[in-house]
Amino acid sequence: MNKRERHQAIREIIGSRVVGSQEELRVLLHEAQWDVTQSTLSRDLREMRVARMPTPEGPRYVSPEHLGDGAADDRTLIEEVLPQFFSSIDGVTELLVLKTIYGGAQPVAEAIDDAGWKEVVGTIGGENTILIVCRSPAARETLEKRLLKIAEG
């Protein structure tokens, strides 16, 4: 009887198959050892704000936050985007600040994430500035040189 875990289970189910009614969901949950009534599911779905969307093939439940997932496109290579957007780079301790032309921060930040470099703890991109958190000051220096090299083409 753990509501939070059950919510998670519900998300996984409605995210991976077509669920058209709360009764149907109840059966699917039952197969996964969750045993609750339709009433509870009605309340769960409200708390989770799961919407019921009618379609020609019948209604289906959809998590609002997963609706934009279809928009996800192909990954971008850092070698392609950085020379195109690069403006300047600087940093202190384990922080690296990379500036790009306007609008370039997001794609570049994404490309850096995708590169999967071990020196990188994480990146945050605004409009034209990216903050890169590095694992150490030494890692920052390594990364700074690498990015500069890539930026030059």
Partner DNA sequence: CCGACCCCTGCAATAATATGCATTATGGGT
Partner DNA sequence: ACCCATAATGCATATTATTGCAGGGGTCGG
Sites of contact with a copy of itself (CB under 8 A): 2, 4-5, 7-8, 11, 42, 45-47, 49-56, 62, 64-65, 67-73, 75, 79-80, 83-85, 90-95, 97-99, 102-104, 106, 109-110, 113, 121-127, 129-131, 133-136, 153
Please report whether residue 3 would count as binding DNA according to CB under 7 A. yes
CB-neighbour burial class of residue 141 (10 A; exposed 0-12, middle 13-18, buried 19+):
middle
CA distance 34 to 44: 13
Please report whether residue 52 would count as binding DNA according to CB under 7 A. yes
CB atoms within 10 A of CB 94: 17
Q: Which amino acid is at 113?
A: D
Looking at 32-40, 92-100, 103-111, 142-150, which segment touches DNA (CB under 7 A)?
32-40
146 sits in which H/E element: helix 137-151
Q: Which amino acid is at 52?
A: R
Binding site for DNA (CB under 7 A): 1, 3, 6, 20-23, 35-40, 42-46, 52, 54, 58-59
